[in-house]
């Protein structure tokens, strides 16, 4: 094992609860008093009243800036220019993953504090020190390592409960892989995002993430379907956002995330969310690992219970050449694909996907 230190990273402050938007000003005030707020129409609208009232209490000024739609180099530069020319000293994202990634990148570029107010719990981007960069046309470009996590992540679960259920379930798919990928990474001495070995703390949080989803996932989905906040929803939102964010970044990722990117070669997969693809790819990873019958059955059962994909049809794919190309891209990509205790071949990945599909159809 390489002689490296163990490293654990996380956001500086995490705040969560129904009505938490009303406390936003109190948490932002120590960071600065002129806030540039980036978000899409729905993200800005969902947080506007709470932001305005809370900021007024703490003498904070703000400017809303509509998000351009892609977390691209052009959009990051545009936001950074607005922040610099306007004399803003805090950057804030209100919305989903791409607006959040743009804000984090612009804040890191300027050396300014970054606050994140997610309005969906669909992925673990809010807490991480990474931004996914796309081209202006929406094609994936690269992962940008920012070297810092957000200074504040505030999640109002009443806002999350009002968002589409599919977003919450997608977040469960992304978060579900956290423990299983960290576990295999820990076993092979994988290097995590900050460049160190995986701490026991990261492993404990990754395990808690999975345990929380298995116990409370269905209840959280029911709560979101009825636009209400329950203890189950609170726990799952924390798992999707905080536990998964720390677990993947201070832990590691493996085939589940590597293959989800490889599926870009499959046209039908484009219609599905990141978390939906990760869920199917986690099942693929478990088959490749020859995970126990108990584990495979439990994960399949969970996916079925909340509506995550378990067949190729569920992710807009079918056996054939596009799926083989996805397997080849994944096997040849290095990085997370190497976080396994055995060689990762395109043939093994493809065969595992076909196996998952067969099991999923059998359980339908």
Q: Are 262 and 186 in contact (CB under 8 A)?
A: no
Tens-digit pLDDT string for the chain (364 aa)? 458 999 999 999 999 999 999 999 999 999 999 999 999 999 999 999 999 999 999 999 999 999 999 999 999 999 999 999 999 999 999 999 999 999 999 999 999 999 999 999 999 999 999 999 988 887 778 889 999 999 999 999 999 999 999 999 999 999 999 999 999 999 999 999 999 999 999 999 999 999 999 999 999 999 999 999 999 999 999 999 999 999 999 999 999 999 998 998 799 998 999 999 999 999 999 999 999 999 999 999 999 999 999 999 999 999 999 999 999 999 987 778 888 888 889 999 999 999 999 999 998 7
Beta strands per DSSP E along the chain: 14-17, 34-39, 61-66, 90-95, 114-118, 130-134, 140-145, 152-156
Q: Are 315 and 272 in contact (CB under 8 A)?
A: yes
Q: Are 323 and 317 in contact (CB under 8 A)?
A: yes
| Both structure tokens of 139 | 């094609």
Q: Residue with structure tokens 């609170």?
A: 234
> What pLDDT is recorded for position 335?
79
Largest CA distance in the chain: 60
Give the ranges where 86-199 is alpha helix by DSSP (H). Answer: 97-110, 157-161, 165-187
Give the residue among 212, 208, 315 at the shortest CA–CA distance from 251: 208
How far, CA to CA in Å, does 197 sit from each of 2, 98, 131, 250, 349?
9, 28, 21, 8, 26
Burial class of residue 57 in the structure, from the number of CB atoms within 10 Å of its CB (0-12 exposed, 13-18 middle, 19+ buried): middle
Question: Apex CA 121: angle with CA 357 and CA 333, to 5°?
Answer: 50
Domains of the chain: 14-161 (3.40.50.1970), 165-363 (1.20.1090.10)
| Both structure tokens of 50 | 């709470």
Give the residue among 266, 299, 298, 262 at the shortest CA–CA distance from 282: 299
């Amino acid at each position: 094992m390489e002689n490296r230190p163990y490293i654990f990273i996380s956001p500086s402050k995490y705040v969560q609860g129904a009505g938490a938007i009303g406390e936003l000003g109190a948490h932002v005030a120590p960071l600065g008093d002129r806030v540039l707020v980036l978000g899409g129409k729905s993200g800005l609208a969902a947080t506007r009243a709470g932001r305005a009232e809370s900021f007024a209490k703490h003498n904070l000024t703000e400017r809303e800036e509509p998000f351009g739609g892609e977390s691209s180099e052009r959009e990051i530069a545009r936001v950074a220019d607005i922040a610099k020319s306007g004399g803003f000293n805090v950057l804030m994202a209100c919305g989903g993953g791409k607006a959040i990634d743009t804000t984090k990148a612009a804040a890191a570029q300027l050396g300014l504090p970054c606050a994140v107010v997610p309005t969906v719990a669909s992925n673990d981007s809010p807490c991480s020190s990474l931004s996914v960069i796309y081209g202006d046309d929406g094609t994936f470009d690269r992962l940008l390592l920012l070297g810092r996590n957000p200074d504040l992540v505030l999640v109002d679960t009443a806002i999350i409960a009002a968002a589409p259920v599919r977003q919450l379930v997608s977040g469960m798919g992304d978060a579900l892989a956290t423990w299983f990928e960290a576990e295999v990474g820990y076993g092979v001495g994988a290097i995590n995002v900050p460049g160190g070995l995986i701490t026991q703390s990261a492993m404990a949080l990754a395990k808690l993430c999975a345990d929380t989803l298995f116990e409370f996932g269905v209840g959280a989905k029911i709560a979101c379907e009825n636009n209400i906040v329950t203890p189950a929803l609170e726990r799952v939102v924390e798992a999707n956002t905080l536990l998964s964010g720390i677990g993947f970044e201070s832990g590691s990722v493996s085939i589940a995330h590597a293959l989800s990117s490889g599926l870009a070669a499959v046209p039908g997969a484009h219609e599905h969310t990141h978390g939906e693809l990760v869920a199917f790819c986690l099942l693929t990873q478990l088959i490749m690992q020859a995970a126990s019958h108990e584990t495979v059955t439990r994960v399949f059962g969970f996916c079925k219970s909340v509506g995550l994909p378990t067949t190729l049809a569920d992710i807009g794919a079918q056996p054939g050449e596009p799926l083989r190309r996805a397997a080849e891209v994944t096997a040849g990509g290095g990085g997370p694909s190497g976080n396994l205790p055995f060689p990762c071949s395109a043939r093994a990945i493809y065969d595992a996907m076909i196996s998952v599909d067969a099991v999923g159809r059998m359980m339908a």
